[in-house]
Amino acid sequence: MNKIYNPTRSQWNEVLKRPTQTIEDIEATVSEVFNEVSQKGDEAIKKYTSLFDGVDLKNNKVSNAEIKDAIKQIPSELKEAINTAKNNIEAFHAAQKTNGIKVDTVNGVSCWQEKRPIEKIGLYIPGGTAPLFSTILMLAIPAQLAGCKEVVLCTPPNKEGKVNPAILYTASLCGVDKIYKIGGIQAIAAMTFGTETVPKVYKIFGPGNQFVTVAKQLATRYNVAIDMPAGPSELLVVADETANPSYVASDLLSQAEHGIDSQVVMVSTSKEMIDSVADQIEEQIKGLPRREIAEKAIENSRLIYVDTKEDALELINEYGPEHFIITVSNENFYVDGIVNAGSVFIGDYTPESAGDYASGTNHTLPTNGYAKQYSGVNLDSFMKSMTFQKITKDGIKNIGPAIELMAEAEGLQAHKNAVTIRLKDLK
């Protein structure tokens, strides 16, 4: 584990460096799949499902029978847990609804702003070792609350052509009924272009491996929006001498088990705490089923000591962590001062995994420093704000002359004319 003491400002860049990702070499593959899907639709999907997922599917749409079957397979305890999470996520995202706003900026000039749903949404849910059914809750719940008309979900089939039942159960619980057994690049391409069976969507959400990441980037060249740029998941914990080292270690490890490229950082104003947490990590890592992954991530982790909380805050804002745990006596100093973070977890009893699953906040968050300029997924991610204006005769008389002057100064005579022609009639 890397312990770093009082890095100078000129070392911050190096200290806060994230693992570099190389994507150039897979762009060619992604382009090829996109081209073929755009031209051949379902035929290309079939081919790549066979090639990449090792299964030949007659039908890529999940049937009602498969969903019913999945519902039966989920133990009632897990169903209840998922329901608890669903209720909390629903409550928190429903509270994010905003009313339209309306302002008469000048007498006779009414302007208003309203949010309307993005009509067609695509969700990508990875399969593989961890079936991320929790991500369905995080994406499908706000999509439904926003009023999106069409929600499409793609997830890869396993070698038997099946989808994990927890994924089907959760999708069905959230009212998603267009579920397709399509994975990776070909899934993103299908939702980007549409095929005979898969509807084209306007915005694609969801995590994935590097192929999915590059495919989502490419999708943006074809008039599709994506939730946010992707990067490996990351956690930064700030802990002073009052923190509980075994809790901090458990949180750092929960992040480390995500992948070998996960980012795990601790910042502390206590050298003792750094040592204790390091010891606890060594202790706790032993029992983990995903120990190998966690160990590699921990190798790249950093435990950073700084003298003052002011330095700590500045360093943290410079990093802009996806997840930020605050476990110090003076919580408010960091709560008030943090500007760049995706989601913030406060106090001893608020582990990151609470937000990952069930507290109610969204777990789709900006990584890779993007917390500096991107929001995590929230209700607004599924809507767009539109503006409206209605001007009366008096209104155009009031602001018309200003428009004429400005249009003329910008050299745009036809813009001016559109006002002049109306003002003339009103004389």
Q: Which of residues 267-326 bind its own copies (CB under 8 A)?
A: 284, 287-290, 294
Nearer to its own copies, 181 or 416 (CB): 416
Active-site annotation, residues: 322-323
Question: Using CA atoms, how far apart are residues 344 and 332, in angstroms rounded to an integer?
Answer: 12
Shortest reach from residue 90's CB to its own copies, in Å: 9
Q: Would you give the binding string for its own copies spanning residues 340-379, x where CB under 8 A is met? A: xxxxxxxxxxxxxxxxxxxxxxx---x-xxxxxxxxx-x-
Which one of 6, 84, 107, 308 is in contact with its own copies (CB under 8 A)?
Answer: 84
Residues touching its own copies: how many (CB under 8 A)?
125
Shortest reach from residue 271's CB to its own copies, in Å: 23
Nearer to its own copies, 48 or 370 (CB): 370
Phi, psi of 127 (to 5 degrees): -100, -125
Nearer to its own copies, 48 or 253 (CB): 253
Shortest reach from residue 2's CB to its own copies, in Å: 20
Tell me which residue of 390, 379, 386 sits closest to 113, measured CA to CA: 386
Residue 93 marked in a binding site:
no
Residue 255 marked in a binding site:
yes
Residue type, 375: S
Query: Which range in 8-16, 104-112, 173-181, 184-192 contacts its own copies by CB under 8 A?
Result: 104-112
Shortest reach from residue 82's CB to its own copies, in Å: 7
Near its own copies in 195-234, by CB under 8 A? 202-203, 220, 223-225, 229
Shortest reach from residue 124's CB to its own copies, in Å: 16
Q: Binding of its own copies at residue 51 (CB under 8 A)?
A: no
Residue 10 marked in a binding site:
no
What the block records as the tokens of 191 is 């939702």
Nearer to its own copies, 269 or 343 (CB): 343
Which one of 5, 51, 54, 78 is in contact with its own copies (CB under 8 A)?
Answer: 78
Shortest reach from residue 48's CB to its own copies, in Å: 26
What the block records as the tokens of 407 is 């249009």
Burial of 103 (0-12, 13-18, 19+ CB in 10 A): exposed
Which one of 129, 159, 196, 427 is in contact with its own copies (CB under 8 A)?
Answer: 129
Which one of 56, 59, 101, 241 is in contact with its own copies (CB under 8 A)?
Answer: 101
Pairing relationship of beta strands 225-226 and 203-205 according to DSSP bridges: parallel
Nearer to its own copies, 10 or 64 (CB): 10
Other Cβ atoms within 10 Å of 375 Cβ, number: 15
Near its own copies in 2-21, by CB under 8 A? none
Q: Binding of its own copies at residue 77 (CB under 8 A)?
A: yes
Phi, psi of 81 (to 5 degrees): -60, -45
Nearer to its own copies, 50 or 87 (CB): 87
Residue positions forming the annotated binding site:
124, 186, 209, 233, 255, 258, 323, 356, 410, 415
Residue positions forming the annotated binding site for Zn(2+):
255, 258, 356, 415
Residue positions forming the annotated binding site for substrate:
233, 255, 258, 323, 356, 410, 415
